Amino acid sequence: MRNKVIAGNWKMNYSIEESVKLISELKQGLTETDAKVIICPPFTSLETANALLKGSKIELGAQNMHNETSGAFTGDISASMLKSVGCKYVILGHSERRAIFGESNEFINKKVHKALSENLVPILCVGESLEEREKNITKDVVKNQLVVGLDSVSAEQAEGIIIAYEPVWAIGTGKTASPAQAQEVHEFIRSLISEKYGQETAEKVIIQYGGSVKPDNASELLSQKDIDGALVGGACLKADSFLGIIKAAKN
C-alpha cells in the first residue's frame, strides 16, 4: 500500500519570524499520522526551518531549483545548495513556473535529472489550464508534460519521484476538481507510468492532487484509489487547516 504524502507549498509567503511561528504550531499540533508530511518554505527560511524540524516528523522541501551545478544564474538556487540546508524534496514544474516564468517541459526534465543525481526527491507537477480542459485536451497536455518530464528517467528512479497533478484552473481559485475528475486523471497518469515502466513500478509511484485542497474536501479526495496525497497551497499557510488536511490522510 502506498503511504499518503502531504506537502505544503508556501510559495512567496512568510518572513523568517512568520515561518518560525507556523513551524512551531505545526510541530505542536501534529499528532500520530501515517502520512509523510513535507513543508516547502521560501528559500530565505529553509535553514531556519531545517533547524526547527530536527527530531520532528516533518520533512523539508524547496519550491524550485536550477538544473546547473553553479554559475552565472542570478537569483537561482542549485541542488547542492538545497541539500546544504537540509532539503530532501524539491517541487519542479509547478504551473506558476511554467506559466509565469516560461519553463518548458524540456527544462523541467533537466531539473528532474539534476535533482535525482543529487539524491533530492522531485515533486514533478503536471496539469492543464481551464482553456485546455474546456477543449477536452486534458489528457494530451498531461501526457506530454509527464512523458517529456520523465524522459530518460529509469524505472528505478521513477519509483522515487512524486507526481503532483494540479489542474491549473483549481490552483488558488477556490475551485476544486471533483473527486471523480481528479481520480480520472490520476488513474490516467498511473496508466502512463505503467506503459513506460510496467505495472509494478506504476503501483509504487506516489501521485498527489493539488488545487484548492482544504480540510473540508481532503477526506473525499484522498479516499480515491489513485490519489496518494496532496500538494497544498493556501491552506498550508495556517496550522489548523494544514493539520486538518494531514488528519484526513488515512492509508
Return the active site residues: 94, 166
**Which residues on neighbouring strands pair with residue 61, listed in sequence order?**
89
β-sheet bridge partners, residue 122: 90
Chain mean position to CA 45: 18
Residue 116 in 3-state DSSP? Answer: helix
For residues 83 and 120, is the Cβ–Cβ distance under 8 A?
Answer: yes
Q: Which neighbouring-strand residues pair with 8? A: 39, 232
Q: Which amino acid is at 24?
A: S
For residue 244, give the amino acid letter: G
User: What's the maximum distance between 2 C-alpha atoms anywhere in the chain?
Assistant: 48
Q: What is the DSSP string of 92-107?
A: ES-HHHHHTT---HHH
